[in-house]
Amino acid sequence: MDSYQLPPEIWLEVFNWATYYPSSDAYTTEYKPFSTSTSQATDVALQVKCILTLVCREWHTIVTEFLYKDVRIGRGQNALKCALNDGNRRFVRRAVLPYHSTSTPEWNPDPLPSIEILKLCNKLEILVRPPSPPLETQRFEFDADNLTLPSLKRLEWTYNFEAERTGGINSLQSVLQGSPFLQYLSINSVSRSPRARLAFDSRAVSLPYLETLSLSALNPSFLYQIAGRWSLPSLSHLMLGSLYVEDLTDLWETYSEQLRVLELGKDSTFLLQDAITPCLERCTKLEELNFHVFYTLPPQTTNTYPSVTAIGLHSAEHSMFDSETSWKLLEKHLDVLCGDTFPSLHSLHLFGEWTSFLHHPRFAPFATRLYQRGVKSFVKD
């Protein structure tokens, strides 16, 4: 069959693959182990879309849907607004909103152009507030416009203290108040600084459908909000990138009956304290545990946790460890997995590069013990 005879449905599939975002994580609302939490549009994907629209009138019509599926609200806001007003708003599913697009250097009674654009996108499912470099025009002096996002399912938020205090679209608290159907929340650039706190809001946050929460770090302010003031009745997947607090008891007690999956990030703070055991002690329904094996202390416990059925280990190297140090830590982890700590364990998922470890003589005894226990190992891409 000649290409020009292909039915439109086939062309749609071809164009979808040609213009698809490099990472499928960008559009998902489901948890994926060790996935990149933040995602930004690439120039290459946009160039491909633009080129396809220029081939012929039929292709332009077909590709328009993919061209506006993912928009970045930066330069050319007036042109983008006009294009969306022409009917293309119905295609927008994901928007990237840099902070310089919502800066408030001076008082203005009119709504920000970026807010007006977002209001047009009534089917928006994913909003990204990416990190942005300091800019002379990026000042936050006056209150920012507020906005409700009832169709939003995923929010990737880069914390910005200067912007946070202006409220509205720049405040995480305010955005969460207007996003009641959120399912996936990623918060990045959380720092140790006492200033890194959420803007005051007397209203408690309620996200009844939120299942996955990813934090680049957990500091006292966020711990207080998440464990004490936020209502997250559906939260089942928690990702912690780093720890700036020692005692997580309040967090584990708040979600003890809900948490099914815990992931720990690639950060040395998990070598300073046992972050796994306190969670296991209180979250008695935890089913899956994922962590970076060379950045995490093994659980320091003699108790058993029968709810855990799957464990994922990432092999990312620690720059401060030599080969012997890495092996000793790995052997401690494997001893735990081969022992009685997780009697219901049946799946061990290995992420990263494991070839040198799996073929090393020191790994063989552990492989035998895992096999005898009925634990199946899977090497993941």
Over the stretch 27-64, which tens digit does the pLDDT of each residue have? 788 999 998 644 554 554 556 656 655 566 666 666 67
Q: Where are the domains of the chain?
A: 260-381
pLDDT at residue 309, rounded to an integer: 98
Residue linked to tokens 């890194």? 196
State pTM to two decimals.
0.89
pLDDT at residue 1, rounded to an integer: 47
Are 264 and 292 contacting, i.e. CB atoms less than 8 angstroms apart?
yes
pLDDT at residue 32, rounded to an integer: 93
Tokens of 344: 């219901």
pLDDT at residue 50, rounded to an integer: 60
pLDDT at residue 142, rounded to an integer: 86
Over the stretch 257-311, which tens digit does the pLDDT of each residue have? 999 999 999 999 999 999 999 999 999 999 999 999 999 999 999 999 999 999 9
Q: Is the dihedral of CA 161, 164, 170, 175 positive or negative?
A: positive
Which amino acid is located at 136 in the chain? Answer: E
Tokens of 209: 């459908």
| 3-18 core/surface letters (b: 16 or more CB in 10 A; e: else) | eeeeeeeebeeebeee
| DSSP codes of every residue in 88-122 | GGGG--EEE--GGGG-BSS--SSPPHHHHHHHH-T
Residue ranges of the chain with per-residue pLDDT less than 70: 1-6, 8, 11-24, 36-63, 135-137, 194-200, 381
Give me the long-range contacts of 337-340 (CB less than 8 A, separation at least 24).
Answer: 337/311, 337/366, 337/370, 337/375, 338/366, 338/369, 338/370, 338/373, 340/304
Ramachandran class of 267: left when φ > 0, alpha when ψ lies in -120 to 50, beta otherwise:
beta
DSSP annotation of 175: H
Are 210 and 182 contacting, i.e. CB atoms less than 8 angstroms apart?
yes
DSSP annotation of 213: E
pLDDT at residue 209, rounded to an integer: 98
Beta pairing partners, 128: 96, 156
